[in-house]
Amino acid sequence: MRGSADPTHPTDPGHRRSRVRRAAGTLASVALLLPLLGAAPSDSGASAARLQRAFASAAAEYHVPQSVLLGVSYLQSRWDAHAGAPSVTGGYGPMHLTDARTALADAPHHSEGTEDARGDSARPALHPTTEVPTAAELPPRLRTLTKAAELTGLPPEQLRTDPAANVAGGAALLAAAQRDLAEPLSADPADWYGAVARFSGADDSATAAAYATDVYDVIRGGEKRTTDGGQLVALAAQPELAPDTAQLGRAGLRTLSAEGTECPATVSCEWIPAPYEQFGEGDYGNHDLGDRPTGQSIRYIVVHDTEGAWDGVLNMVQDPTYVSWNYTLRSTDGHIAQHVKAKDVAWHAGNWYVNAKSIGLEHEGFLANPDAWYTEAMYRASARLVTYLAAKYGIPLDRQHILGHDNVPGPTTSTISGMHTDPGPYWDWQHYFTLMGRPFQPTPGASGDSGVVTIRPDYASNRPTYTGCVTAGQACAAHGSSEVRLYSRPDTASALVKDIGTHPPEGVSTIGVNDIGSRVSTGQQYAVAERRGDWTAIWYLGQKAWFRNPAANPTAVRATGAVVTPKDGLTEIPVYGRAYPEASAYPAGIPAQAVSPLPYKLLAGQKYVAGEKVPGEYYYAVTFDTAAHRVVVGKDLYYEIQFGHRVAFVRAADVRLTV
């Protein structure tokens, strides 16, 4: 999506003074219960242990085992409070209590802006006009804060902004779920499986079970971390814990079929197909049938966010006049719906070359606010799905193959400024790849003068200023970020680096939340141009781009890898947004697609990290009848490179590859 300032969005509650609720007997309860944690921090100081005490207090007051309360909260938010800011589904605080009644999106993801989701210049641009469906009633999973207010007697505002009150609200909801199941308020965490499943808000047993199983995995393994509010929270491991999973059968949830899906067994998945139908005068939608990976390889997974509510998004993807993607993931519990088979080509990325070789994942969110946060449940489900798909189709788990929508290049010059910018600077790429077992680390053996770096700021403490999240031109709330800002000189007072494609013709970049012209993202790799004290310069969009990289708190780590540079004798070479075949490769009856360069140049002496070497390829599929579909493969070869915030392509014949 390209998030837009929403003047109707409520004032950010993160700046309001917290009011701490202290129940009678709290101190005595904490004294008794803290030893049960085992791994609870002992030297953190009273202030840094405030949230830990809140969990102990709430557990005692509502008779919920602390480990269950901590495990549920970890799966929802990793114990972060996000300064009272709402999640993508209107959830607040460590327990992710939802209050989504005012958070409906202004426009669906693929209807906003000028990007053609299909991105195929052989066909008229596709700009769907489907409106956001109006929900008569939000589902209970998006109204848990209201119920928590009723159960605790606490005002909704306090539940939104006060982490201790929020934890109490979550404990009250868990206790209520346990009573609804006619189960005792037992001190044994094994007796709470059904209540944890119900807390997810899922209405089917498969999703509820997947959620509860994740919570108990957290409890068995234990966790300890410092939250975004500087709070030390710990959960001691209970490796022998075996929950009573039979409780789920008494929870009254519907049975969900996974038939037809292409998902790992470790997630909850259902088949909700996107239509392949004809309509109007020869039009059809909302995807193309294919024969992947036999007919052509799958090389990318593209991460999106929806800017639409779950039910409304599902309605849109089932509209033949709209566009499509392969999977949608639900925020509150990580449930997955598949819409397009991996063999077929969905219309989602705005670049036909990428569409034809990718699988698109939309992550639920309906706040028109780009700094809304994502739940741990959704991160985990998405990471498992990506790991499964990458293994199945041989997709490397790196940032040149696992792309954000904001990393997909505009296919032609005229499309660059309209390309979407989701999932944005607040998607936690380091955590996401860690969940996939591929955390971004310094390359072993990389020397002090390594010519390549991997961007890797500390997400929680890296808080660049952005504008336009709520009100145009106004600063966004302080928030951890995966992205690092780039300057024209080693000085934060200097101008930001220019992007003549996003901001033609002058290229002047801004700190707007949707302006990616002067930003790099966690996991991306770049060739080093120069180092000067605490500053590092990289080659970026044909220029030197500087970022602060102090040794005491680095924002990038040293790496090794192949790079490309123009061949000797060439002063500059063109850069492309798609790797299309040469004209002579097209058979009769299939119009040759233009191999049109972007406005950027790769200049002599500059270097860019290289990905795969691939042949030019074009999937001709402009008719409903698949008999005319063809995959055209050329002899010209290309390297994918990390050129700016987005990837790009250069002809292999123009460059020299070095390691």
Residues in CB range of 22: below 8 A, 6 or more apart: 57
Distance CA 349, CA 117 (A): 5
Question: pLDDT tens digit string along 546-564?
Answer: 999 999 999 999 999 999 9
For the ranges 23-37, 104-118, 318-332, 548-562, the lowest mean pLDDT is seen at: 23-37
Distance CA 167, CA 56 (A): 10
Distance CA 431, CA 438 (A): 9
Task: Check: CB of residue 355 under 8 Å from CB of residue 304.
Answer: no
Q: How far is CA 643 from CA 295, 400, 527, 600, 601, in A?
A: 29, 11, 10, 10, 10
Distance CA 124, CA 334 (A): 36
Q: Which two tokens stand for residue 632?
A: 């055209």
The per-residue b/e assignment along 212-228, b for 16 or more CB within 10 angstroms, e otherwise, is bbbbbebbbebbeeebb
Model pLDDT, residue 402: 98
pLDDT band at 281 (very low <50, low <70, confident <90, very high): confident
Model pLDDT, residue 113: 74
Q: How far is CA 527 from CA 333, 455, 605, 609, 655, in A?
A: 39, 11, 11, 6, 15
For the ranges 25-29, 439-443, 541-545, 653-657, the lowest mean pLDDT is seen at: 25-29
Rg over CA atoms, the chain: 25
Q: Name the more confident of 626 and 138.
A: 626
Q: Which domains does the chain have, with CATH numbers?
A: 46-101+140-250 (1.10.530), 109-137+258-425 (3.40.80.10), 430-559 (no CATH), 566-658 (no CATH)
Q: Which two tokens stand for residue 93?
A: 């605080």
Return the amino acid letter for 360: G
Question: pLDDT tens digit string along 355-398?
Answer: 999 999 999 864 435 556 889 999 999 999 999 999 999 999 99
Classify 214 as helix, strand or coil: helix
Q: 478 pLDDT exceeds 90?
A: no
Model pLDDT, residue 218: 98
For the ranges 34-48, 422-436, 504-518, the lowest mean pLDDT is seen at: 34-48
Mean pLDDT (the chain, rounded)? 89
Q: Name the more confident of 36 and 331.
A: 331
Model pLDDT, residue 27: 30
Classify 304 as helix, strand or coil: strand
Q: How many residues does the chain have?
A: 659
Model pLDDT, residue 28: 32
Distance CA 443, CA 568 (A): 29
Model pLDDT, residue 364: 86
Question: pLDDT tens digit string along 203-232?
Answer: 999 999 999 999 999 999 999 999 989 999
Distance CA 458, CA 383 (A): 20
Q: Name the more confident of 469 and 550.
A: 550
Task: Check: CB of residue 89 under 8 Å from CB of residue 100.
Answer: yes
pLDDT band at 476 (very low <50, low <70, confident <90, very high): confident
Q: 310 pLDDT exceeds 50?
A: yes
